[in-house]
Amino acid sequence: MKRLSFSTLMLWGGLAFIYLPMLILVIYSFNASKLVTVWGGWSLEWYAGLFDNSQLMAAVGRSLQVAFFTALAAVTLGTLAAFVLTRLPRFRGRTLFGGLVTAPLVMPEVITGLSLLLLFVAMSQLIGWPERGLTTIWIAHTTFCSSYVAIVVSARLRELDLSIEEAAMDLGARPWKVFILITIPMIAPSLVAGGMMSFALSLDDLVLASFVSGPGSTTLPMEIFSAVRLGVKPEINAVASLILLAVSLVTFLIWYLSRRAEENRIQALRQAQEA
């Protein structure tokens, strides 16, 4: 019993450690004083100023665009990879394939960023494509996000009851039809989760984007970074708070959706038992 209370204490302490700095950041974003560390009363002026900053707003637009297309591509690629990992146990190069899927999760970003840039430079010398810009950022983000999607989706695929897919195949459905009509709907929640995760990861990335971006393709984290390097600024507090708000809303949405899905499942089970 004593050990249990120690771990609970650590849990609450850890959560406080994780959330207090973010809370302080949000509080200080409403600080009226231009001196970041002196409290000068509540104010919204830094938020109002953001929308007049056209450079920043353009960067937000570019980041959202890249994040959207990254989410689409990463979910597609990641789901295929997860399917291969969970449903096709034996083919040549499977170990290599597994390694290629999991290694991007831990590979330091400076290595991935530099190596991709060198590849892009060599490719554009050879075949004239791709030009450095949003496309190259999209490729870089898609590559590492699809690994995250593959992990999330393969966890779900492994839980699935294979007999449903087998029954459909026995009844004469083609594999791709089974996949689209049966497998996809069953793994839909994890596809949504993987997509949101990719969107967030792409929106957050600084290092990869810095390496592979070209002129005129500065993303939001790159803008923030160049400002932050010079010290703490009230405008940055406001931007950071807005990003924190967006992420918490998405997190809440995921929790709400998964709770409703769970409730529906329990209700369906109960009805099935009563019938």
Partner 1 sequence: MNIPSLNLGRRLVIGVPFIWLALFFLLPFAMVLKISFSSAEVAIPPYTELVRYVDQQLQVLVNFGNYLLLAEDGLYWSAYLGSLKIASISTLVCLLIGYPMAYAISKARKDLQTVLLLLIMMPTWTAILIRVYAWMGILSNNGLINNLLMGLGFISEPLQILNSDTAVYIGVVYAYLPFMVLPLYANLVKHDPTLLEAAADLGARPIESFWKITVPLSKGGIIAGCMLVFIPVVGEFVIPELLGGPETLMIGKVLWQEFFNNRDWPVAAALAVLMLLILIVPILLFNRNQAKELEGRL
* Contact flag: residue 90 with partner 1 (CB under 8 A): no
* Contact flag: residue 249 with partner 1 (CB under 8 A): no
Longest pairwise C-alpha distance within the chain: 72
Using the rule CB under 8 A, which residue among 17, 180, 226, 267 binds partner 1? 17
Which is closer to partner 1, CB of 50 or CB of 247? Answer: 247
* Contact flag: residue 235 with partner 1 (CB under 8 A): no
Using the rule CB under 8 A, which residue among 97, 160, 173, 182 binds partner 1? 97
* Contact flag: residue 69 with partner 1 (CB under 8 A): no
* Contact flag: residue 41 with partner 1 (CB under 8 A): no
* Contact flag: residue 182 with partner 1 (CB under 8 A): no
Using the rule CB under 8 A, which residue among 44, 57, 110, 261 binds partner 1? 110
* Contact flag: residue 173 with partner 1 (CB under 8 A): no
Cβ-proximal residues to 194 (8 Å cutoff; 6+ apart), any chain: 74, 75, 78, 79, 148, 149, 152, 153
Q: How far is the CB of 134 from partner 1 (least distance, A)?
A: 16
Using the rule CB under 8 A, which residue among 95, 163, 271, 273 binds partner 1? 95
Which is closer to partner 1, CB of 250 or CB of 275? Answer: 250
Rounded to whole angstroms, the Cα distance separating 235 from 37 reads: 13
Q: How many helices (H) and strands (E) does the chain have?
A: 12, 0
| Count of residues near partner 1 by CB under 8 A | 99
Which is closer to partner 1, CB of 26 or CB of 58? Answer: 26
Q: How much of the chain is in helix, strand and coil states, percent to nearest 5?
A: 80, 0, 20
Using the rule CB under 8 A, which residue among 75, 134, 201, 209 binds partner 1? 201
Rounded to whole angstroms, the Cα distance separating 95 from 85 reads: 10
Using the rule CB under 8 A, which residue among 69, 195, 221, 238 binds partner 1? 221
Rounded to whole angstroms, the Cα distance separating 226 from 107 reads: 24
* Contact flag: residue 83 with partner 1 (CB under 8 A): yes
